[in-house]
Structure 1
Amino acid sequence: MSGNASVNGTVAAGWESVRDEFAAFAAAEPHSPEAQLVVLHHGRPVVDLWAGEDTDGETLTGVYSITKGAAHLVVALLVQDGVLELDAPVSRYWSEFTGEGKERLTVRELVAHKSGLINRPEGFTVEELADDAGIAAALVGQKPYWEPGTAYGYHAFVIAALTGEVVRRATGRSIQEIYEERIRAPYGLELFLGLPREAEGRWKPILEPLPTQEQLAQMADQPAPPALMPIAFNWHTDPPMDLVAFANHPKVKELGPASAGGVGSARGIAGMYAAAIGEVDGRAPLLKPDTAAEFAKPHTPGQGLVTPEPDHFALGFELMPGVGPRALGHSGAAGGVGFGDPESGVAYAYTRRRFGFPGGAAPENERLTAAVMKAARAAG
């Protein structure tokens, strides 16, 4: 498939520059990204675009770690409700969470990727990674890869299994169940933690990356990744885990593991963040300003032990450079990003079915986000 992917959809008056930026990058890609871009401004849809020959505005696909935003929105709600206390030890809720310094770890530190329980030495199969309760049971007795609470590192496939076990012990219910009841169903969001059968017909698979020779050459010149990165991403197994196969696996779609197994559309992601930060359809924001600010602020400055980006995490969410200090968001491995910014009223979602090379927030997000934020400032 060649570049120049067709762009379809709508933009509100004053947001045409966002469409121009989206069309420019889609045309420049050597292979169609099969992408969606949706923006809500103060709860009002202003951008709803898609590009590709086999993707439209209703297409559902794997969204990888964008799922973490949904999972930790649940955690934030439970903190707001007083059900969870951030500075309580994890062991208050999960009694088996002890040994090797785990008993000193607080819920705040756990949510901030500081437990050190990034995987187990033998890794997990894809089927095992689809089962959050099974991951938690397997990791609780493991020796952490660093002393808990002393450093942070991305718990790529397990963070929401660990925080989800705290949720389950405190409430008797899973993150997936609470998300469905309190967030997805009331707002009719097409972001699922467990794809229902009636939506299966709109699901389309993640597509393999097709890097250019230039991209491969650039990667060859990059410094070696941190030693713990292959472990956290489950690449230390034999054979290494295939990220594309993970998102497309039937068990992952069915169970919706809360770290990286969500299925949805840009409309669903943007709708979730719009509901989190602002009034939607007469409903008050899901998060009160103090709660949103607490979960958006950086908690662990400095270099992480897993990925090379410094100053990377808030509480369960990633920091959103170029957006604002109060933005809540998270990227996904295929290239997508979702965020909500209370200061500007912007809820942004970008998805890709063509896995971006080499993975993580695709570079076009920087240009798209800049165009969105400029249009939002102009709109007031």
Structure 2
Amino acid sequence: MEIQGEVAAGFEAVRDAFVRNFEVLGDRGAAVAVYRDGRKVVDLWAGPKDVEGGGAGEPWTAGTAQVVRSATKGVAAVVPLLLHQRGLLDLDAPVGAYWPEFKAGGKERALVRDLLAHRAAVPALDVPLTPAQAVDGLSGARAVAGQRAFWEPGSAHGYHAQTYSWLLSELVLRVTGASLGQWLAQEVTGPRGLEFWIGLPAGETGRVGRVGPVEPAEMAGGLRTRPRRNVSEAWADPSSLTRRAFAAITPLPDENAPEFRAAELPASAGVGTARGLAGVYAALLGDTQDGAGLFAPQTRRLAGTELSSGPDRVLVVNTRFGPGYMLHSPASPLLSAGSFGHPGRGGSLGFADPEAGVAFGYVTNAHAKSVTADPRAQSLLRAVRASL
């Protein structure tokens, strides 16, 4: 496997781990980028652009982007936290203060911080949306507003795998008058030239590879930290909250379809390069343009503040969430206890670690069955830790 890109002195272990991902862990096409104190220290890519490309396929290039599934959630969380930082969004206000239609079905007391930390109690829908409804910009918000709460909001948490898209999108729309993807592009990614989109512009479609499922390689070193049997049993039960949360869109949309990539689904449809994903997190800590991070010190602390912890009613394992971010835990290992970010089901991962000054992004076109601790991302993460 020919590896393209570069690593700074001292980070050669990350390149070695990246090579091993292809040789041992079954990666097809992938990229990884790491920033340290605003300086890019790792920028690597290899393999075919399309998961089924093989040796004869179009190669992955420096500008190749992929759908990153739930790693989108961490980028999307930048928007409400910046709105809060600017005094436009009160995390302790009821969601209904901004979105009156949400005050129904036992959700009247749900706070904005509950929505961001998967405590809003609507991880599933009694009537799933079709793929067309999921991306039409109207049906999703109406569905979650009218959905009855599955528990008392704020009293427990459960991963809002798909419904998070419509919850967060509508909240941002009510506060700003703009869509989340538009606001992100105007205020965060566009001014910095970051290659990440929630709502892929038509002019960028040519750079995006095709993703697809792959059979996972043998898991070495105890990397699969979730109790698979419990999750598998829950997934096998069509009535379980686990199954219903991930099937809020039925049938599941085609992630390679242009309409999916163009959709503003901040739970699952973000598209980006590894450099763009890591660059968003680097910008939060302090980018190379002016040294000042997008997040003020108190906002960085807020991003890593635990709002939910313990048994997750959807993922059937103990998880930790801050306001929009998954936090470091045995179920989702990041660099340290102060890290905040988000994995994507199947492999992708992006996060920031303020103490180490590290921003990390990994994207792949080969979606394995991992949810929170993909072995390829974890191998790269361990190499970053060893290089610091």
Among candidates 172, 175, 181, match of residue 180 of structure 2: 175
Q: Is the 8 A contact 1:132 1:258 kept in 2?
A: no
The yes-or-no answer on 1:51 pairing with 2:46 is yes
* Cα distance between partner residues in 1 of 2:228 and 2:35: 39
Compared CA separation, residues 359 and 310, structure 1 to 2 (3 A): closer
Q: Which residue of 2 aligns with 1:27?
A: 23
* Cα distance between partner residues in 2 of 1:235 and 1:134: 12
**1:36 alignment partner, SS class:** strand
Deviations, residues 312-359 of structure 1 (Å, cap 9, x unaligned): 211111013341233220111120100111111111001110111244
The yes-or-no answer on 1:353 pairing with 2:365 is yes
Q: Which residue of 1 aligns with 2:352?
A: 340
Q: Is the 8 A contact 2:227 2:317 kept in 1?
A: no
Deviations, residues 57-91 of structure 1 (Å, cap 9, x unaligned): 31111111111112110000000011000111111
The yes-or-no answer on 1:232 pairing with 2:238 is no
Once the two structures are TM-superposed, the CA of residue 374 in structure 1 deviates from its matched residue by 2.5
The yes-or-no answer on 1:110 pairing with 2:115 is yes
Give runs of aligned pairs for residues 1-380 of structure 1, distance below 5 A: 5-29=1-25, 31-53=26-48, 54-211=59-216, 222-223=229-230, 224-225=233-234, 227-234=240-247, 237=250, 240-241=251-252, 245-320=253-328, 321-376=333-388
Once the two structures are TM-superposed, the CA of residue 193 in structure 1 deviates from its matched residue by 1.2
Q: Which residue of 1 aligns with 2:53?
A: none
Q: Is the 8 A contact 1:111 1:315 kept in 2?
A: yes
* Cα distance between partner residues in 1 of 2:12 and 2:47: 19
Once the two structures are TM-superposed, the CA of residue 35 in structure 1 deviates from its matched residue by 1.0
Deviations, residues 119-145 of structure 1 (Å, cap 9, x unaligned): 212212222222454311121011122
Gaps of 5+ in 2: 49-58
Q: Is the 8 A contact 2:24 2:217 kept in 1?
A: no
Q: Cα RMSD (Å) of the superposition?
A: 2.3
Between 1:50-59 and 1:259-268, the stretch displaced more is: 50-59
Amino acid at match of 1:61: Q
Once the two structures are TM-superposed, the CA of residue 39 in structure 1 deviates from its matched residue by 0.5
Q: Is the 8 A contact 1:133 1:165 kept in 2?
A: no
Q: Which residue of 1 aligns with 2:55?
A: none
**2:276 alignment partner, SS class:** helix
**1:195 alignment partner, SS class:** coil
Once the two structures are TM-superposed, the CA of residue 363 in structure 1 deviates from its matched residue by 1.4
Q: Is the 8 A contact 2:6 2:44 kept in 1?
A: yes
Q: Is the 8 A contact 1:130 1:261 kept in 2?
A: no
* Cα distance between partner residues in 1 of 2:216 and 2:355: 37
* Cα distance between partner residues in 2 of 1:132 and 1:328: 28
Query: TM-score under structure 2 normalisation?
Result: 0.88
Total equivalences in the alignment: 364
Once the two structures are TM-superposed, the CA of residue 163 in structure 1 deviates from its matched residue by 2.1
Deviations, residues 85-105 of structure 1 (Å, cap 9, x unaligned): 011111111111113321111
Between 1:129-138 and 1:9-18, the stretch displaced more is: 129-138
**1:55 alignment partner, SS class:** coil
Compared CA separation, residues 236 and 138, structure 1 to 2 (3 A): closer
Deviations, residues 1-37 of structure 1 (Å, cap 9, x unaligned): xxxx4322211111111111111222113x4431111
Deviations, residues 275-327 of structure 1 (Å, cap 9, x unaligned): 01123211520001111111212111210100023132111110133412332
Amino acid at match of 1:115: A
Q: Is the 8 A contact 1:334 1:361 kept in 2?
A: no
Q: Is the 8 A contact 1:336 1:361 kept in 2?
A: no
Once the two structures are TM-superposed, the CA of residue 247 in structure 1 deviates from its matched residue by 2.0
Amino acid at match of 1:362: D
Q: Is the 8 A contact 1:229 1:306 kept in 2?
A: yes
* Cα distance between partner residues in 2 of 1:328 and 1:250: 30
Gaps of 5+ in 1: none
Compared CA separation, residues 366 and 146, structure 1 to 2 (3 A): same
